[in-house]
Amino acid sequence: MKSVLSTAFLLSSCVFGETEIPTQKVVNATSSNWAVLVAGSNGYYNYRHQSDVCHSYQILTKLGGFPEENVIVMIYNDIVNNSENPIPGKLFNEPGGVDVYGDIKVSYSGDQVTAQNFLNVIQGIKEGDTKNGPVLESKKGDNVFIYYSDHGATGLVAMPTGDPLYATDLMKALNNMNKKQMYNQLVFYLEACESGSMFNGILPNNTNIFATTAATPNQPSYAFYYNETLETYMADEYSVRWMQDSTKNWDSQESLLQQYKDVAAATKESQPQKYGDEAFDNEPIEDFEAYQDRKGKDTLKLLRNSVKNFVLDESIPRVFDRKWVPSKEAVSSRDVKLATLQHRYLGSSRIEDKIYWASLVEQEIEYRLEVDLLFDELVKFVTGYVNIGGNGDDFINAIKYGHILPTNWECLKYVYSSYEAHCEDRFSDYSLKYVNTLVNLCETFDNQEIVEEGFKAICQ
C-alpha cells in the first residue's frame, strides 16, 4: 500500500461515537417504524455500496434509535474482511469519517441477497431463505424506510446473485404492501444508474409512497471519494449526500422535500429525482429515519427525441493514455473499475507494479470495446433482419442510445437472460449501460427471439 489512512481519518470524532450522540428518546409510542437496507453488489471494486448501507444503518440505529430487529440488512458482506481491504474489519464512507461497519447486524448475506428474497422481505413473505429470516412485520400505522444502493440500468437494479430486480416486480410488491396495509407511509431512497426508471411513470401518486433517486431515468449515478489507501471509491455521491444531510439536520424538523432539495443541490454529477405521493413530503425525515413516529406512445418518436441531446462521454479514454488522471472526487459508476485500475497504476512506484496495472487497464478498455462492438452488431443484426436499417444513423443511434420506459417486461427479462446465457456470464457494471438498448429493441420490434438469435450469432 502506498500510504496509511490519516490520523484524522481513523481517529476523528464522529456523530456515531457513543459519547457524541445519544440514542433518540422515544416521545410517542403510538407506532413503530421499520427499515430495509440493501446493497445489490459484491466485489471489492463495489466497496462503496456496502459502505453506503453500513453508514445508513448507523444513522438509523444511533441517531434514529432503531432497534436492530426493526432494521433488515441485505449485503453480500464480502468487503469488510476482503483480502484487498487494507483495514480488515472496518469500512469507511467519507473522508475524515470513522468505521461504519461497527456493530451492524446483517440479516441476509452472500447468495441470500437476491431480488426474490428482497421482494419477500418487504412483503412479509416467509418462504425459501426468508422462511427462517426476518421480514417486515409492519402494520398499517407504521412507517417504512427502504434504502437500496447498487448498479442499475433502464427498468432494473442489479443483484449479486440471480436475476436483477425489475421495476415491474418492485411495483407489484409495493402495491401488494399497500393492499395488505403494511405501512402508513413509505419512503424509498434509491442509488443506481438510471434509477429514475424504476419509478418514473410507474409509481402512483396516491399510495403514500414517496421515492427519491440518485439519477434521472437516462443518466448514471456517480461514485465518490476515491481513497488511495483503500484503493477504491468509498461512497456514492447521492447516497453520502443524503446521509450527511440527515446527520447535519437531525432534530431540526427538516422535511423530506427539503432534504430532497438539499441533496439535489449538493449532488453535482447526476440529477436526483422524486416520484410518487407528495402529500406528506413536508413531514420531517425523522418520521422515517428514526424508530418512533413523532406524529403507451409512439416508440420511435420517443426514442429519437430522447437521443437528440446525447453526448458521448469522452472523459474515459478508448486508447490507454498513461497520463490520464481519473477524478478522485466523482466518476460514473460505469467507469469505477477502469478509474480504480488507473489510480493504482498512477500510484505505483515500482516499474513491475506499473506494468501490471497498465496491463489491467488495457485489458479493461479492450473488454469495454468488445462490449461496445457487440451491441453495435446486435442493433445491426436486429434492424437488418426486419429490414428497417434504411433509416440510417438516426434510427440506429436512437435504438442504441435512446431512453424510454420499458413496458414489454416479458421481452426485457427474456433478452436480459439471453445475453447472460450466450455472451457474458453476468452483466458487468459496464455492460449494464446497454440494457437500455435491449429495452428499445423490445419496445420497437416486440420480438425477443430475434434478439436472442442475434446474441447467438455474435457471441458464439
Q: Please give the positions annotated as active site.
A: 151, 193
Using the 8-state DSSP alphabet, how is residue 312 labeled? -
- Cell numbers placing 207: 399510495
For the stretch 60-76, what's the b/e string if a residue is b when 16 or more beta carbons lie within 10 angstroms of its beta carbon?
A: bbbbbbbeeebbbbbbb
Beta bridge partners of 255: 284
Place of cell 436492530: 68
Residue 394 burial class via C-beta count within 10 angstroms: exposed 0-12, middle 13-18, buried 19 and up:
exposed
Beta bridge partners of 319: none
Collapsing DSSP states into helix, strand and coil, what is residue 332? strand
Instruction: Provide DSSP, 47-68.
Output: HHHHHHHHHHHHIIIIIS---G
The pairing of strands 222-227 and 330-332 is: antiparallel
Beta bridge partners of 146: 36, 188
φ, ψ of residue 294 in degrees (nearest 5): -100, -10
Collapsing DSSP states into helix, strand and coil, what is residue 386? coil
Cα gap 193→130, rounded to integer Å: 28
Using the 8-state DSSP alphabet, how is residue 26 labeled? P
Residue 109 burial class via C-beta count within 10 angstroms: exposed 0-12, middle 13-18, buried 19 and up:
middle
- What are the C-alpha distances in Å from 237 to residues 5, 223, 329, 339? 21, 6, 9, 16
Residue 159 burial class via C-beta count within 10 angstroms: exposed 0-12, middle 13-18, buried 19 and up:
buried
